[in-house]
Each structure stands twice: as C-alpha cells, then as structure tokens.
Amino acid sequence: MFKKQLVISLLSLCTLGLYSQGQDYKTLNHLSGKWKFSLGNKSDWKDRTFDDSEWDDIRVPSSWEMQGFNGYDGYAWYRKEINIPEEYRKESLVLELGYIDDVDEVFFNGQRIGGSGKFPPYYTTAYNAHRLYAIPEQLIYFSGHNVIAVKVYDDQMEGGINRGNVRLLAEKRPLKPFLNLQGEWNFRTGDNLEWRYDNGDGKEWGKIYVPGTWENQGYKRLDGFAWYQKTFVANDNFENDRVVLLLGKIDDLDEVFINGIKIGQTGFLEPGNRQGEYTKAYTQLRGYLVPEGVIEMGKKNSIQVRVSDFYLEGGITEGPIGFITQTDYISYWRKKKENR
C-alpha cells in the first residue's frame, strides 16, 4: 500500500517545519579493526574507567565465531577507546555500528545511547537493523579519553558486530537543540486521549529509547497507536526566545502535547482513516513551535506524543530530539534553502 502526500500544517497552533530531509553524514573516523572483547555479562563493563587490558582482542566487523569463539551463543561485550578532537565540538556526532547479531545495547562513557532488539527473557532479534546512534554532546570528553562499550546477545548461528561500516560520523548541517531530550522515554501501546495529561509515573508505562524504531526495541509487528511521554524542567534558554520542539522523524503520523495542551500534529490520526489516505510524513522532520504560556518555568513539564503507525517501522525513528530557539530554527532552514 502506497503512502500519499497529506501533511497538515496547523497554523492556528503555530506548527512549523514539516520539511523532507534525508540523513546526510560525513565520515570523521573509521572504527573498524581491533576492539577489546570478553564473553559474559557484567554491569561495570560499560564504565569509562573499567580496566579491559586483560580482555581478548577481536576484529570488528566480523562474527566472533570466525575469531576463535565458534559455537558460542549468549552474552558478550566489546569496548573501544577513541579520541575526539576539540574541533569536532561543533559537529553532531553519530556512531555507526553496522549490523549486530542479534541484540545490542550501546554505551558511551558509561551512559546508554541506544540499543536494538530485546534481551532475554523477552528476546527479540534485530540482526537486520542498521545501527546508527547519536552521541549527546554532554557525554563527550573532547581531546580526551572516550570509551564505546557494546553489550551483545546472540541467540544462534553467527554473533557479534559482524558486518557493515563501523565509523564515527557527523551530520551535515545539523539541527542542534539547546536541551537534548534523546534518551529513555516512557512508552505504552494503545490509544486514549486522556493520556495527554499523564506524567508517565504509572506502571502501565514501559521504557523505550528515543530516537529508535519500536520494532527494534521489542515491539515487533506493532501497527496502530502508541504514546510516548517525557518530562523536563525549563531552563533559562526558554526565557530568551520562543522555542521549537524537535521530534526528528516519526513513522507515520503524530499528535503532540505539552502539559496536556496540543501544540501540533502531522496528518489525520483518526482510527477510521483508510490506508489509501496515508502520507509520506515519515520522511519529514518534525518541528513544532510551542505557544507562549504552555511551558512553566522552573517546574516539571510533560511532553506526550501520540503516534499512529500503519505498517513496517514505527515510532520516533530519528533525531534530533529536544528544544531549539525559534531564531536558530528559522536560521537553519534559511541556510538550508540557500545551499540548495
């Protein structure tokens, strides 16, 4: 079933930024080659200061079965130390890890930056998912010692970081939020408009990493409605200018609330829509101008994102995720138009 162009700009709600944009990267460093490697699973193996000098060396990308660990199914960890020059501070950095068989969780300097698949006991493979994980700037030691740690679970046959490019990338012409909301969000399947007032504290909410497809995080074959929720405290940047909420790319349609107030939407989310009315909105960046008075300074604010997916991948699939000033947002699109 094909998707037709049907993107709605809600001008009355000051919705901005439904522009099509493919991800465009440049390579900064190739990270293929020798990594440190250990079978097993311990929580402190993610830590930046952990001593991995006694670990085995392994070549990446390649299955661990091809490198002396034939027949092993289960948990293993990879670690790699990298130096990131000060000149990269102006970039938006992304870690590419190719394809991993079957499940992974990735840490940068001890902090989780993403994952694909589900570990046991709710095992779900993601062996065919291309791994691209944005690295939040606040986690990086520029001109210093940085550590990538990758926890992997293999269920059968070949395992590990086994194919594809393994690189440090930078987005070309990135949108850089002043408040980055990439990371763990609350998540629940189903649909109820009363959830726009929910702060995500209830046991009905699970956890999901944003950005990332929900299929690669344990929700295989989920087509239909689901909700995301995230809280934040407004800092001084919110007082200096109007702000835009960046929600990257969403597959397929969305409706967005802050503190229960609708700030924008893309497409029609009513359950009765026919498949022929579906859109190409999944290719477009979301940027919603927040109406004045919606965000409360110095208090906990809540974002709720209602998502409808029709088939294939679903959810908040790509970044950037966070808040940017209206001035910087407009400047970005003007420069992008000039460079076309």
The residue type found at 151 is: K
pLDDT for position 12? 29
25-171, CATH topology level: Jelly Rolls (2.60.120)
Q: What is the pLDDT of residue 8?
A: 31
Cα dist from 145 to 1, 55, 220, 339, whole Å: 49, 18, 37, 36
Q: Output the pTM of the full model.
A: 0.75
Domain range 11-23+176-338, CATH architecture: Sandwich (2.60)
**What local confidence, expressed as pLDDT, does residue 221 receive?**
85
pLDDT in the model for residue 73: 96
The whole-number pLDDT of residue 231 equals 97
| Residue ranges of the chain whose pLDDT lies below 50 | 1-22, 274-277
The pLDDT value recorded for residue 273 is 54
Q: Do domains 11-23+176-338 and 25-171 have the same CATH topology?
A: yes
| 3-state per-residue secondary structure call for 66-121 | HHCCCCCCEEEEEEEEEEECHHHHHCCEEEEEEEEECEEEEEECCEEEEEECECCC
**212: nearest Cα among 244, 249, 170:** 249
pLDDT of 278 reads 53
Interatomic CA distance for residues 30 and 309, integer angstroms: 35
pLDDT at position 220:
84
Residue among 173, 217, 109 nearest 340 (CA)? 173
Predicted confidence at residue 279, as pLDDT, reads 66
The domains of the chain are located at 11-23+176-338, 25-171
What is the pLDDT, as a whole number, of residue 32?
97
DSSP 216: G
**pLDDT value of residue 7:** 32
